[in-house]
Structure 1
Amino acid sequence: MPERLQILVSAVNKNIDSLLENMNISSDAVIVNQRIGEKAPDIEEKREFKGKDILVLQRNEKGVGLSRNTALEHSDHEIIQFADDDIIYDDGYVQKVLDEFDNHPEADLLLFNIKAQEGRETYWNTDFAKVNWKNYGRYPSYAVFARREKIIDKKVRFSLLFGGGAPYMNGEDSLFLHDCLKAGLNLYRTTVVVGHERPNESTWFKGYNDKFFFDRGVLYHFLYGKMAKVLGFRYLFKNRNIMCNEMGLFKSVKILWDGVDHGKTLEKV
């Protein structure tokens, strides 16, 4: 029986053999390894790891959205997942994922539990339920498992504007799920746990500075349109004791609103 699950890994400057071992990969996979700071030709190679088919794409490029889109274009399995290179999968994750999709044919995408490192938690599913416009923004890309044909048919892709290696900071995962909902795909969350995140330093968060607030404003333009400034103010007001201690609420809001205005001048890519 052919494999049904394929993990799509976005990596940067990694040794592939070590990466496969560290992630505990036990399914087929596509790995896009972006070689930042290196000058070498692009390479595409097929290899086996513990009896599984691994496609490795070595690329001289940067940007997590580009990496995920490249992996998606080279995928060919029924079920796919967008993974980071610091995820460690539990033994038996493949069958857990397949069973959950088989038990829920109504789901185009399932958001599984992958435990984040302490201090970086944004979600933890405690029930099975539909994900909607009110709660989709909590989920990182690595929680997303999807029926590949649904993503391809709706032409949903990751933005090249946001995330590591892109012009603006994180948000590519929220924008991707936003576009999935907009395309009419059915998203559900599940309590099934399939792995955890290895502790490491954030590649994008450098404090609540000008860039943080400005880039958040740009993202809010693409997520919320005409409501971006209102929801941006609400977001900062709600988190003012954490985010605005240094700059103050009103300066932080002004910078975020400047980002919203800048977003209006950009073409979505």
Structure 2
Amino acid sequence: MTFEIAISTMHKNHDEVLEMLKHENIKCDCIVINQCDEDYSEIIEENGQKIRIFYTTERGLSKSRNMALCNAMADILAIGDDDLFYYDDFDKIILNYYECNSKADVVLFNMDDLYKTFPSKNRKCTFLELSGYISMEATFRVSAIQKRFLKFNEFFGTGSGCFNSGEENIFLADCYHKKCRIFYCKDKIVKRLPGDSSWFTSFNDEKFIKDRGAIYYAMSKIFFPLYIFRFAFKNRKKLKPFSIFKSLSLMRKGKREYLQIIKP
């Protein structure tokens, strides 16, 4: 069984890409999608590591990840980013889980994060909890994703020009709807480094709240009311000065904006 990790980045030259991988402690095979001002690719093979770099003029995080999915050559693909630190042998931890669990199509791994904690026990994921995971936890059995023609929704994610986040949650929801078997593993593979988010401003920001509405509707029309109420109630203190009712109203507005964008 083989493994690759897909890293999304922007405006880096050859040497800067290699320095980024060194800084992130990535020593395994990888696909780097480098959104810049040129279109070409290169392959670097050294010390048992194969690095495939795709330089592209496309923009948007979801487009970057879709390009990685289309070009994946390994059995298992992990989704990465350019501001993380991966623990030693993280690739072996991932492969070991898949080798021991042949039923797994998608596995979400634990991580060290400044902003939240994740479950301490292995388990099969329920649909309603998929909104709580983030992209750098996600790994996929490539054959399961490709045969279902799954891809990231390009209206969502940094650089989309529409909704600034949520692309991974929508993707996981699509995986669930297409009968992928999704599991969570308590083993930590990565640490998110301190720094400014490229999309998060604060909870009490109208754009952020509206985007949550669009995300939840794209995840599930049926569970949309439950998702938005849970979000508004759970985060009611963080959302101030917006009341629960105002937050619900903004998320419904986000849903309407999404419907307008996808309208034929």
Same fold (TM over 0.5): yes
Contact 2:174 2:219 (C-alpha < 8 Å) held by counterparts: no
Partner of 2:123: 129
Residues 10-89 of structure 1: pairs in structure 2 closer than 5 A: 10-14=8-12, 15-35=16-36, 40-89=37-86
Partner of 1:220: 216
Partner of 1:199: 194
Q: Which amino acid aligns with 1:24?
A: N
Q: Which amino acid aligns with 2:82?
A: D
Q: Structure 1 residues 253 and 59 mapped into 2: Cα distance closer, same or farther (>3 Å)?
A: same
Q: What is the count of residue pairs matched by the alignment?
A: 258
State the 1:254 CA deviation.
Answer: 1.8
Matched, 1:140 2:137: no
State the 1:85 CA deviation.
Answer: 1.1
Residues 158-237 of structure 1: pairs in structure 2 closer than 5 A: 158-166=152-160, 167-207=162-202, 208-237=204-233
Q: Which runs of 4+ in 1 moved over 6 A?
A: none
Matched, 1:90 2:87: yes
Partner of 2:5: 7
Q: Structure 1 residues 197 and 227 mapped into 2: Cα distance closer, same or farther (>3 Å)?
A: closer
Give the gaps of 5 or more residues in structure 2.
Answer: none
State the 1:70 CA deviation.
Answer: 0.4
State the 1:229 CA deviation.
Answer: 3.9
State the 1:226 CA deviation.
Answer: 4.6
Q: Which amino acid aligns with 1:163?
A: G
Aligned equivalents of 1:181, 1:225: Cα separation in 2: 14
Aligned equivalents of 1:206, 1:183: Cα separation in 2: 33
State the 1:49 CA deviation.
Answer: 4.5
SS in 2 for 1:134: helix
Q: Which amino acid aligns with 2:5?
A: I
- Spell out, residue by residue over 1:166-209, the C-alpha distance to the aligned partner (whole angstroms, 9 max, x if none): 11021101101000000001011111122211211111112221
State the 1:222 CA deviation.
Answer: 1.1
Contact 1:229 1:257 (C-alpha < 8 Å) held by counterparts: no
Contact 1:158 1:176 (C-alpha < 8 Å) held by counterparts: yes
Q: TM-score, normalised by structure 1?
A: 0.90
Q: TM-score, normalised by structure 2?
A: 0.92
SS in 2 for 1:212: helix
Matched, 1:241 2:237: yes
SS in 1 for 2:260: coil
SS in 2 for 1:240: coil
Contact 1:111 1:143 (C-alpha < 8 Å) held by counterparts: yes
User: What is the Cα-based RMSD across aligned positions, in Å?
Assistant: 1.7
State the 1:24 CA deviation.
Answer: 1.0
- Spell out, residue by residue over 1:82-116, the C-alpha distance to the aligned partner (whole angstroms, 9 max, x if none): 11111211112222221111111111111111212
Q: Structure 1 residues 267 and 200 mapped into 2: Cα distance closer, same or farther (>3 Å)?
A: same
Aligned equivalents of 2:260, 2:46: Cα separation in 1: 46
